[in-house]
Amino acid sequence: MATAFFATSSAAIRSQGRCGGGSCPSSTVSPAIVYFPNGTYLVSRAIVPYYYTQLVGDPKNLPTLLAAPEFDGLAVIDANPYIPNGGGSQYWVPQNNFFRVIKNFIIDVRQVPPERAKELASTGKSPKPPL
C-alpha cells in the first residue's frame, strides 16, 4: 500500500526557511536531509527539492516514489520547475541549481497512462503547481 507523499515529506522539504518556490534570492541558511524509510510513496505532483536539501532513501531497502495515474508534472522530482503562469520563467537560474542531493530511490512511473505522459511532454504545461 502506498503512503501519500505530501503531508509529512513535503512539509519537511519546505520547513526551516530554506530557499524554494521561486520566492527567494537563491540562498539558504538552513540545510536539511529529508530521509525516506523503506516504503512506497504515492506522488501526484512534482517534488521540488529546495536549496541545500538532500532527499535520501534507505540505502539497503530502497523506497519507491510511485507516480499516481493522475500524476501532473514533467518529472517526479523536478529540480527547477517552471513557475505557473510565469511566461516560461523557472524557479532558479540554471547556474544556481546546486546543493541538492537525491539518492537511493526507485522512481516508478508505470501507472501514468502513456497518453498522459505524452500530453505533458508535448505541452510542457502542468495546471498544478509543484510542491
Confidence of residue 10 (pLDDT cuts 50, 70, 90): confident
Q: Is 128 part of any domain?
A: no
Q: Is 129 part of any domain?
A: no
> Is residue 51 a contact partner of residue 27, using CB atoms and an 8 Å limit?
yes
Q: Is 49 part of any domain?
A: yes
Domain count, the chain: 1
Between these two residues, 124 and 83, which has the higher pLDDT value?
83
Q: Is 91 part of any domain?
A: yes
Q: Quote the domain boundaries for residue 97.
A: 3-123
Q: Is the pLDDT of residue 123 over 60?
A: no
Q: How many CB atoms within 10 Å of residue 44?
A: 17
* pLDDT, position 11: 77
Average confidence (pLDDT) over 75-95: 77
Q: Is 32 part of any domain?
A: yes
The pTM of the whole model exceeds 0.85: no
The residue assigned the cell 527567494 is 24
Average confidence (pLDDT) over 58-64: 97
Residue 108 host element (H or E): strand 106-108
Confidence of residue 51 (pLDDT cuts 50, 70, 90): confident
Contacts of the segment 117-126: beta carbons below 8 A, 24+ positions apart: 120/72, 120/73, 120/74, 121/74, 124/74, 124/82, 126/45, 126/46, 126/72, 126/73, 126/74, 126/82, 126/84
